[in-house]
Structure 1
Amino acid sequence: MVFPRGLALSPVLFGLRIVLAVSVVCPFVAEERPTDSQSGLSSPGSSWSVPGQVVLGGLFPLHDSAPDRRSLRDGRPEQLICTSVILEGFQWAMTMLFAIREINMNTNILPNATLGYEVHDTCFSIPRTITIGLGFMQSKVDHVAGAKSQYCPHAVIGPYASKVTDVLSMALGLFLIPQIPRSICSKPCMPGTRIVSLRGQPSCCFECVPCTSGEVSNITELLIRGNSYRDIQPQAIQQPLDHFDFNCDKTIPQRFWVNTNFWNQRCGPVFLYIGGESKVSHLNALYGGQVELARKMGAMVVVSEHRFYGKSKNPEGITDSDLKFLTVKQSLQDLLLLQKHIIQTYRLSSNNPWVTFGVSYAGSLSAWLRQKFPSHIFAAVASSAPVKAQLTYDQYQMVGRAFSDFRIGGSSECANSVSQAFATVDNMIEKNEFQALKDTFEWCIYTDNQDDLASFVMNLATPFITAATYNNEGRDRTVAELCEVMTNRSLGNSYQRLAAIIKTHLPSRLPCMMNSANADRFIYSNHQSELRAWLYQKCSQLGFFQECNRTLDCPFSKLLTLDVNMQPCELFGLNKEQLQAGIDEINMEFGGKNPPASRIIFVNGDVDPWRVLSVTHEIAPLLPSIMIPASAHGIDLNPSTINDPQSLTSARKKTKRILEGWLKQLSCSRW
Structure 2
Amino acid sequence: MLHPKGLCLPLVVLVCLIAQSSSLGFRNGRHMNGFLGQPSSMPTLQRSLDVEDLWFEQRLNHFKPDDTRTWQQRYFVNDAFYRNDSQAPVFLMIGGEGEATKNWMREGAWIHYAEHFGALCIQLEHRFYGKSHPTSDLSNSNLAYLSSEQALADLGNFVSAMKRQYNMADSQKWIAFGGSYPGSLAAWAREKYPHLIDGAISSSGPLLAQVDFTQYFEVVKASLASYKPECVEAVSRGFAQVEILLKHMIGQRNLDEKFKTCTPLKDSIENKLDIANLFENIASNFAGVVQYNKDNSPHAKITIDQICDVMLNTTMGPPVTRLGAVNDLLLKQSKTKCLDYKYDKMIAEMKNVSWDSEVAKGMRQWTYQTCTEFGFYQTSENKSDTFGDRFGIDFFIRQCMDIFSDRMNGKFLEQAVAQTNKYYGALKPGTTNVLYVHGSIDPWHALGLYVSTNSNTPAIYIEGTAHCANMYEPANCDPPQLKEARNKILKYLAKLLDGYASFASFT
- 1:258 is aligned to 77
In structure 2, what residue type is equivalent to 1:648? L
2:204 and 2:385 map into 1 onto residues whose CA distance is 22
Give the Cα separation in 2 of the matches to 1:588 and 1:253: 31
| Aligned partners of 2:211 and 2:374 also within 8 Å | yes
Deviations, residues 65-100 of structure 1 (Å, cap 9, x unaligned): xxxxxxxxxxxxxxxxxxxxx98485599xxxxxxx
Question: What is the deviation of 1:512?
Answer: 1.8
Which deviations, in whole Å up to 9, do the C-alpha atoms of 1:562-582 show, x marking residues without a partner? Answer: 111222101222111111111
Cα deviation per residue 1:346-392 (whole Å; 9 max; x = unaligned)? Answer: 11111220000101111000000001111111100100110111111
**1:590 partnered with 2:424:** yes
Q: 2:366 maps to what in 1? A: 534
1:181-260 matches, cutoff 5 A:
191-193=41-43, 220-223=44-47, 227-228=48-49, 231-260=50-79
What's the CA shift string for 1:173-217, capped at 9, x where partnerless? xxxxxxxxxxxxxxxx97433xxxxxxxxxxxxxxxxxxxxxxxx
Write out per-residue CA displacement over residues 411-453 of structure 1, whole angstroms, 9 at most, x where no aligned residue. Answer: 1111100111011112223446422221221212213232222
The letter of the residue matching 1:442 is: K
Q: How far did residue 596 of structure 1 move? A: 1.0
Task: State the match for 1:490 in structure 2.
Answer: 315
| 2:398 corresponding residue in structure 1 | 567
Rounded to whole Å, the distance in 1 between the matches of 2:487 and 2:479 is: 13
Distance 1:615 1:419 in 2: 30
Query: 2:489 is paired with a residue of what secondary structure?
Result: helix
* 2:92 and 2:177 in contact (8 A); partners too: yes
CA distance in 2, matches of 1:87, 1:630: 24
CA contact (8 A) 2:211 2:377 kept: yes
1:646 to 480, 490, 494: 480
Q: Which residue does the alignment assign to 2:291? A: 469
- TM-score w.r.t. structure 2 length? 0.85
Structure 2 CA distance for partners of 1:399 and 1:90, relative to 1, 3 Å:
closer
Query: What is the CA-CA distance between 1:260 and the residue it aligns to?
Result: 0.5
1:521-556 CA deviation, whole Å, 9 max, x = no partner?
1222122312111001000011101211336x8421
Aligned to 1:455: 277
Partners in 2 of 1:629 and 1:503 — Cα distance? 29
Look up the match of 2:245: 428
When structure 1 is superposed on structure 2, of 287-296 and 627-636 the one drifting more is: 287-296
> For residue 396 of structure 1, what is the aligned residue in structure 2?
217
CA contact (8 A) 2:40 2:472 kept: no
| Alignment partners' CA distance in 2, 1:538 and 1:315 | 20
Distance in 1 (alpha carbons) for counterparts of 2:257 and 2:21:
25
* Structure 1 position 445 matched with structure 2 position 263: yes
Residue 439 of structure 2 corresponds to residue 605 of structure 1? yes
* 1:254–1:313 CA contact under 8 A, matched in 2: yes
Equivalences for residues 359-374 of structure 1 within 5 A: 359-374=179-194
1:412 aligns with 2:229: yes
**Following the alignment from structure 1 to structure 2, what is the Cα–Cα distance between the partners of residues 428 and 331?**
47
CA drift of 1:290 comes to 1.4
Long gaps (5+) in structure 2: 1-10, 23-38
> Which residue is equivalent to 2:379?
547
Per the normalisation by structure 1, the TM-score is 0.65
Asked whether 1:353 is paired with 2:173, we answer yes
Give the secondary-structure state (helix, strand or coil) at the position aligned to 1:325: coil
The 3 A distance-change label for structure 1 pair 221 and 519 is: farther
Unaligned runs of 5+ in 1: 9-85, 94-188, 194-219
Identity of aligned residues (%): 28
Cα distance in 1 for partners of 2:308, 2:204 equals 25
Q: Identify the structure with bigger relative contact order (alpha carbons < 8 Å, sequence gap 6+).
A: 2
Equivalent of residue 520 in structure 1, options 346, 351, 365: 346
CA contact (8 A) 2:74 2:125 kept: yes
Other structure's SS at 1:339 match: helix
- Counterpart residue number, 1:105: none
Q: What SS class does the counterpart of residue 416 from structure 1 fall into?
A: helix
> 2:30: which partner in 1?
none
Determine which of 468, 489, 493 is the counterpart of 1:659.
493
Deviation at 1:496, TM superposition (A): 1.2
Which residue identity is paired with 1:339? V
User: Aligned to 1:263, what secondary structure does the other structure show?
Assistant: coil
Aligned partners of 1:353 and 1:377 also within 8 Å: yes
Shift of 1:222: 3.0
SS of the counterpart of 2:194?
coil
| 1:601-657 deviations in Å (ceiling 9; x for gaps) | 000001111111111122421211001111111101111111101100100000110
> How many Å separate the matches in 2 of 1:516 and 1:599?
47
Q: For the Cα contact (< 8 Å) 2:92–2:175, is it kept in 1?
A: yes
Is 1:276 matched up with 2:64? no
Q: 1:191 to 1:7 in 2, by over 3 A?
A: closer
- Secondary structure at the aligned position of 2:246 is classed as helix
Larger Rg: 1
CA contact (8 A) 2:56 2:74 kept: yes
* Cα offset, 1:454, TM superposition: 1.9
Task: Say which SS state the counterpart of residue 365 (structure 1) adopts.
Answer: helix
**Distance in 2, Cα, partners of 1:284 & 1:670:** 26
Give the ranges of 4+ consecutive aligned residues of structure 1 lying more than 6 Å apart after TM superposition: 5-8
- Asked whether the equivalents of residues 232 and 386 of structure 2 are also in contact (C-alpha less than 8 Å), the reply is yes
Structure 1's 190 and 366: CA in aligned 2 closer, same or farther, altered over 3 A? Answer: closer
Aligned partner of residue 483 in structure 1, secondary structure: helix
Relative to structure 1, the CA distance from residue 383 to residue 294 in structure 2 (aligned partners, 3 Å threshold; closer, same or farther) is same
Cα distance change, pair 257–387 in 1 and its aligned pair in 2 (3 A): same
**Quick one: which amino acid aligns to residue 657 of structure 1?**
K
1:511 aligns with 2:337: yes
Shift of 1:232: 1.3
Inter-partner Cα distance in structure 2 for 1:427 and 1:314: 49
2:8 alignment counterpart: none
The 1-side partners of 2:274 and 2:189 are apart by 40
